Chain A
Amino acid sequence: AQSVTQLGSHVSVSEGALVLLRCNYSSSVPPYLFWYVQYPNQGLQLLLKYTSAATLVKGINGFEAEFKKSETSFHLTKPSAHMSDAAEYFCAVSVGGAQKLVFGQGTRLTINP
């Protein structure tokens, strides 16, 4: 069965600094991988997804993620943090064409002025 581990339940960075949110997955077959963001009292918004077309995936709001099969990782990065990036971020995996996402525990990102 597939699973996702997000390292660090809380990450704090200064405005303008690099954002790095870590995600490792476990899957016996090639996975589909997603990053979602959740703002307070809202649903989940898709940031980006990996579907095997390219290992470096660009998403919305300046975020990108790189799929590394050898490390079973799909870390999310943004070169320069903005105050509006403060939110909770979820990594998710799905396999085999199923419309079932398995989520990590989430990482709360705080941006310091």
Chain B
Amino acid sequence: KAGVTQTPRYLIKTRGQQVTLSCSPISGHRSVSWYQQTPGQGLQFLFEYFSETQRNKGNFPGRFSGRQFSNSRSEMNVSTLELGDSALYLCASSTSSGGRTDTQYFGPGTRLTVL
């Protein structure tokens, strides 16, 4: 089975721009979660989507948004980029059949640099 894929792997943007990152989960996985990784704050949960609905949300401003499509692929969008948004953005997928915590499998990440 193919793993979680993320595109693009690297992005360079300037302040004020917006960016869209894409994640394709493992086949059969319906839950997709997003995390931000920075040297200062470590790994922080952004949000989780399941069956096209946001099911959990972390403590990030509204500039960070996401969505999930009927084929479980997910995108996250960051508007009005700030320097502090420079980070590795990780996507993870799981079966999440409900009522228990299933293992999350991570993609390689998208490295976003904001200049």
Contacts and interface: CB of A to CB of B under 8 A. Distances in A.
Interface of A: 32, 34, 36, 41-46, 49, 51, 90, 92, 94-106
Interface stretch (B12-20, B61-69, B79-87, B95-103): B95-103
A92 B94 CA distance: 16
A44 B42 CA distance: 13
Contact of B45 (A95, A96, A101): A101
8 contacts: A43-B106, A43-B109, A51-B101, A98-B48, A99-B33, A99-B50, A100-B33, A101-B35
Nearest to B6: A43
Nearest to B47: A100
A73 to B, nearest CB: 19
Contacts of A104: 42
Interface of B: 4, 31, 33, 35, 42-45, 48, 50, 55-56, 58, 90, 92, 94, 96, 98-109
A51 B92 CA distance: 19
Contacts of A95: 101
A98 B101 contact: yes
B42 A105 contact: yes
A90 B108 CA distance: 16
Q: Which 5 residue pairs spanning A and B have beta carbons closest together?
A: A43-B106, A103-B43, A44-B106, A32-B101, A94-B101
Contacts of B98: 97
Given A101-B45, A105-B42, A42 B108 contact: yes
A67 B58 CA distance: 27
A42 B106 CA distance: 9
A43 B26 CA distance: 14
> Which of A32, A44, A46, A103 neighbours the largest number of chain B CB atoms within 10 Å of its CB?
A44
A42 to B, nearest CB: 6
Nearest to B41: A105
A99 B98 CA distance: 9
Contact of A99 (B42, B94, B108, B109): B94
Given A49-B103, A99-B94, A100-B58, 10 more contacts: A34-B103, A36-B106, A41-B108, A45-B106, A97-B100, A98-B56, A98-B101, A99-B48, A100-B33, A105-B42
